[in-house]
Structure 1
Amino acid sequence: MSTEPSGDLARKLSDLVAEARLETSFLDASTQHVYHNGAGGQSVPARRVENWNLDAKRPVLGSGSFGTVRLERCQQSSSRMRAVKEIKKHDQQQRVIDYSRELEAIVQFSRPQYSHCFVQSHGWFENESSIFIAMDYHQWGDLSRHLYAPLPEDEVSQIISQVVEGIVYMHEKGFIHRDLKPSNIMVISNGPYWSVKIADFGISKQRFLQESLNTVGVGTIGYAAPEQIGLSSNDVAVNDDSSTPGFPADMWSIGILSMKLFTGQVPFKDLTTLSQYLSSSQEARALKLESPLKQKGASKTSQKFIVDLLQVEPDKRMGAYQASVHEWLAKVGEVSNDVANDGSNDLSL
């Protein structure tokens, strides 16, 4: 069954996103893409066909409330693998979700100049109920699979430095990640010389809100900023969603991530502990953050970095560029992008 873009989505897509759409047919046992190459002065454009099947050993890489990530192999070259993220077009109330902005972010940051910071996409396709995004497969998985214990400070700074660099690019282009957490950071090579890439970026407000409600509903806070879950009135609007918390929400998430890497735990386990933090004095909040960091031997500059990110008021948090030039991250040595096998498959789609 061949598919065409639904009317509303197609009208909103930029030329860049439209060009990234893969000509696709869903066959009984595979997904087929057709590529056309009219270069070389040929009167008839060259035609290339690829068929992709679910990996027999590990067909599903992960799943969530909005869809599933599957591992696929190419029939024409079995060594080629890809991860395909399926995202449902409707939320749990059967309302249509607008993914145009999310697709723009994915295509924007799949350009070669951003390949060291972001998981690369190689096109997208759709059927009546879902959007599918073809991405590099990274065999080391996401960061959450590697956090068995607190990390040494030099390793924490390596990871945070790379995440901050990616967020600087996103914010410069007007995109918000909205969902920074270990499961959305892919590991290319692990310690002691970490290389990581950001995934699942620029998710829609509607998708984030639904997933946040699911998370808060079971009593956990995770990495969401207070204003993202309705605990702050000073929301910062940005881009196409006037009621959406802006760039500072990403910076809060980086602060929580830093605490997790240093201590092995997030600082706020539930709404009660977060609310207590929000209602405390500035001195009490700093003490809550600094005490566990000191116990792990964290430097004063790293403590200051985290305190500056976990400010209650969004407009008082350190911005992405400020974080990138912070004294703590300035000490991070350059980590080669090819320090080890990057664990990805080259998908020349």
Structure 2
Amino acid sequence: MLAFKPFVPKTSTITSEYTITSNILGFGITGKVLQCIHKETGVQYALKILEDNQKSRREAEIHWRVSDCPHIVKVVDVFENTNQHTKKNYLLMVMEYMRGGELFNKIKENENFTESEAAKIVYQISSAIAYLHERNIAHRDLKPENLLYTSNDHNAVLKLTDFGFAKEVVAKKSLQTPCYTPYYVPPEILNFERYDKSCDIWSLGIITYILLSGCPPFFSQNGQPISPGMKSKIRAGKFDFPDAQWKYVSKSAKDLIKSLLLTEPDRRPTIREVMSNHWVAQHNAVPNTPLGTNMFFTTKAWDQFRNVDRKMVFLKRYKLDRVWIIKS
């Protein structure tokens, strides 16, 4: 049994230790993220603001327990404070500030993105998933927006964040809540079946496909977040590797994707099997084949794809448009 560090939020007022700025860094499923500064050291952090309820407690506790992983964004402090203006209770998560931004934005800036670099990214994502799965935790919202770089340096580390949908898996196929973002949803969730942490393996397959080609394997062509035709293709596991994007991508990469995107969850590899896959484990030996990924990232189609994701985040997150942190 793996031991977790105890989750005990501080009851002192957060403004006694941190200065909270009005700089919004982003929005998660369950709350907004602001920039804050530690008063004693001057170090900048990201502050996630959650309404204090059972779901938020679960998110904060799970993230706290797993943030020792080198590929998971670290939580350094958690406060439970009451807003003296509204009398509402909030959980305030202080996390490391990921200056490098989102995964796909960084790739968009890389005109020479290669298959070897894609394999390294899959390895880093898999490392985070393995840390969770070994502790019987399913993330349930793996997507590029939740993968951030520590800095803009060439050797920056990629880390997983946003545990708003994460949940402990007590038994096989013990999950049933249909949590998903359209492009990354596995067929078992679309079918309202019970599922388990293998849903993360499917989402990893979608991310890997996009990394290597610049476009998702399943998509809606009519502007809907998820169309009937898209659902049918996901349920059937029907996708291909068009020559325009895939002609020079290795067979090993394609074979890995095929295994990750199997419609039957029990047939998908475990995350440890993914990490032992030659293309992932030996990512440094993968050919430096140039990819056209970043070319697609600059097209109108990519902007439409990202807009669907952003709309879904907006619809799913709690309404925290006005949060007042007032020193008591």
How far off its partner does 1:313 sit? Answer: 1.4
AA aligned opposite 1:289: D
CA distance in 1, matches of 2:177, 2:34: 24
CA distance in 1, matches of 2:142, 2:227: 19
User: Aligned residue for 2:186?
Assistant: 225
Aligned residue among 17, 34, 48 for 1:85: 48
> Which secondary structure does the structure 2 equivalent of 1:333 belong to?
helix
Aligned residue among 55, 67, 76 for 2:21: 55
The reply on whether 1:157 has 2:119 as its aligned counterpart is yes
User: Aligned residue for 1:186?
Assistant: 148
The superposition leaves residues 7-62 of structure 1 with CA deviations (integer Å, 9 ceiling, x where unpaired) of xxxxxxx87012xx223215xxxx22xxxxxxxxxxxxxxxxx2x22336xx1001
Aligned in 2, Cα 1:317/1:274: closer, same or farther, shift over 3 Å?
farther
Task: Tell me how large the CA RMSD over aligned residues is.
Answer: 2.9
CA distance in 1, matches of 2:73, 2:103: 13
- Gapped regions of structure 1 (runs ≥ 5): 1-13, 33-49, 90-95, 216-220, 236-244, 335-349
> Which secondary structure does the structure 2 equivalent of 1:246 belong to?
coil
CA distance in 2, matches of 1:161, 1:247: 18
User: Aligned residue for 1:119?
Assistant: 73
CA distance in 2, matches of 1:181, 1:190: 20
CA contact (8 A) 1:155 1:193 kept: no
The reply on whether 1:176 has 2:176 as its aligned counterpart is no
User: Aligned residue for 1:106?
Assistant: 63
CA distance in 2, matches of 1:191, 1:137: 14
CA contact (8 A) 1:118 1:198 kept: yes
CA contact (8 A) 2:75 2:93 kept: yes
CA distance in 2, matches of 1:326, 1:163: 14
TM-score scaled by structure 1? 0.66
CA distance in 1, matches of 2:232, 2:138: 27
Aligned residue among 240, 261, 265 for 2:211: 261
Equivalent positions of 1:314-325 (< 5 A) are 314-325=265-276
- The structure with higher relative contact order (CA 8 Å, sep 6+) is 2
The reply on whether 1:23 has 2:35 as its aligned counterpart is no
User: Aligned residue for 1:6?
Assistant: none
AA aligned opposite 1:272: P
Aligned in 2, Cα 1:226/1:126: closer, same or farther, shift over 3 Å?
farther
Sequence identity (%): 26
CA contact (8 A) 1:263 1:296 kept: no
How far off its partner does 1:225 sit? Answer: 1.9
CA distance in 1, matches of 2:249, 2:156: 19
Aligned in 2, Cα 1:75/1:193: closer, same or farther, shift over 3 Å?
closer
> Which secondary structure does the structure 2 equivalent of 1:23 belong to?
coil
CA distance in 2, matches of 1:224, 1:82: 31
The superposition leaves residues 283-330 of structure 1 with CA deviations (integer Å, 9 ceiling, x where unpaired) of xx3xx2333686352110110100100111111111101100012112
> Which secondary structure does the structure 1 equivalent of 2:94 belong to?
strand
CA contact (8 A) 1:263 1:292 kept: no
CA distance in 1, matches of 2:243, 2:35: 39
TM-score scaled by structure 2? 0.70
The reply on whether 1:131 has 2:81 as its aligned counterpart is no
CA distance in 2, matches of 1:192, 1:140: 10
The reply on whether 1:66 has 2:22 as its aligned counterpart is no
CA distance in 2, matches of 1:292, 1:188: 34
Aligned residues: 260
CA distance in 2, matches of 1:109, 1:64: 18
AA aligned opposite 1:16: P
CA contact (8 A) 1:87 1:132 kept: yes
Aligned in 2, Cα 1:17/1:293: closer, same or farther, shift over 3 Å?
farther
User: Aligned residue for 2:254?
Assistant: 303
The reply on whether 1:272 has 2:219 as its aligned counterpart is no
User: Aligned residue for 1:346?
Assistant: none
How far off its partner does 1:266 sit? Answer: 1.4
AA aligned opposite 2:67: S
